[in-house]
Amino acid sequence: MAPRKADESGVATVYAATIAVLLAAACVVVLQVAAVARLQHHVSSAADLTAIAASQAAVSGADACGAARRIASANRTVLRECELRAAAATVVVERTARLWGRELSVRRTARAAPSDYVPAREGRR
């Protein structure tokens, strides 16, 4: 009897399906990484805008932390901290998003002051 040849029909389909699944998984990973980067940039921008709003409000005599809270909320972030020293505002904002089935919180700190602001020197005698 002659040896039987192994039937390899359909092997290309299995390889193609495997490659398609791997490419789809890679695309999902790339999209999730991009979503995290986008979230981080969004929160950083929101922190900057919030600090600027607080500083401008302080200069005009308005409620600086109230202005910061409104700007943070308008940027879909939450104001966690607001500190004012003269017209220099330091704020911390946070946003939580659901990625990979988990909650991801991103916090950013920003500081803003008027262009003519001169900080007091510590230890001055």
pTM: 0.76
Residue 88's pLDDT is what? 93
pLDDT digits (tens, 9 = 90+) for 50-60: 999 999 999 99
Name every residue whose Cβ is closer than 8 Å to that of residue 32 and which is 6 or more positions away in sequence. Answer: 99, 100
Using 50, 70 and 90 to split pLDDT, how confident is the model at 2? low
Of 2-11, 12-21, 102-111, least confident by mean pLDDT is 2-11
Q: Domain segments of the chain: what residues?
A: 41-115
Q: Look at the alpha carbons of 5, 11, 12, 13 in this order and tell me if their dihedral is positive or negative.
A: positive
Using 50, 70 and 90 to split pLDDT, how confident is the model at 115? confident
Count CB atoms within 10 A of the CB of residue 6.
6
- Mapped onto helix, strand or coil, the DSSP state of residue 55 is helix
pLDDT digits (tens, 9 = 90+) for 71-101: 999 999 999 999 999 889 999 999 999 887 8
Using 50, 70 and 90 to split pLDDT, how confident is the model at 46? very high
Residue 119's pLDDT is what? 74
Max Cα–Cα distance, the chain, nearest Å: 106
